[in-house]
Structure 1
């Protein structure tokens, strides 16, 4: 597997990135440290105590493990292949198995949050002859129906890398599906109907969301997005179902609307 320092979390201090890489074979480990002189994260072999380390990454057969060396900070591991999936590693937790083959490890340091890309070991799969013949429990969604396009629009921000809490409003869903064209605009009542149908009939999130009392008007949108992403019902391949984002050419400044100065009198 490969570890690669990929820079600093967007929104943090802007500074040049020093490329650091580390290759690990099965059973080997690496300590992730902050190099103050180079202002980057670097890697060292896991050979013993780690008084100045941030984390330990260990390669296993078919997965990799993470140890959080910090006494107070929680670390985050994001799945770069499926938006919205992440694992939290509590302080002092040791050898947490990480199931993501391609991941982004977020590590806080005194000057910001550094990002380490992890290219994990190739996962193992069962042979087709060993698969179970029992029926799956996840609901089957019809990708040709409008409710599925509404669901994709709701999931789009997280599929494109936004934080897990980024769920569009009904107005934003209407704008995204219509792409600014009145002829393709869907009504607010229709969007709400599709969200209710997903929440109550297809995904049945009201049974576990714990917010069906109506105190929060947006709980259904949050619940259907969480359910769809966690269960893999919506993925990046479905983004092609949404209208392509139109980019208009940049226009120059228009003529000034200030009144012309009065002509000077000639004497």
Structure 2
């Protein structure tokens, strides 16, 4: 699995995803290139050439910027003469970076991010996923020196996607191995005490991201989004429990269950 996925516009449809392998770029703007797709938020690769994304708004520069993919992060170039772009970490409690006019190849460290483009009186957004973020197993015995081992399923346990995965695994971790999995709506209600803005779309977004992160769907090194994954939640939970990606002690990160709620 390599590099990044760009999800343009308000849709989270897999067909709208633009997948970039290391070394590939995505140029975006009102008229970013000769092979730009004619439809709003359309992307093309122009017969193997650079990817382009048309952002059809009068407040966006014709050639507004470029996203570049590496193996584990992405960079942003701002071609605007006057507009500053902001890259937000949606889980970072306001964490963000600013990329000023003319800045080239600014590295973006967030695993998933929201690129915010000022466009007249509006703010347009693009979501960018970097599922190749790896985490080393520094607790492995005998590996205090030299290169650490990279874990096979790199998960950030402080992230919301891990909280969603934990909530999905909770019934079976609490001693009911054949319990039905919670619905998306039940996960929303379970997490609302610690995540007040949780809603169905946000939880489903994290489930979709986990399917890519845990390699149940093709990575961004392939243009093909793969077939529809039937039973996505069941597959995620089965994988997580089989390989101890979520353990009983991880349940402590969930908000306290309401009184009278089955645990």
TM-score by length of 1: 0.41
Answer with 1 or 2: which has the greater Rg. 1
Structure with greater contact order relative to length (CA < 8 Å, sep ≥ 6): 2
TM-score by length of 2: 0.41
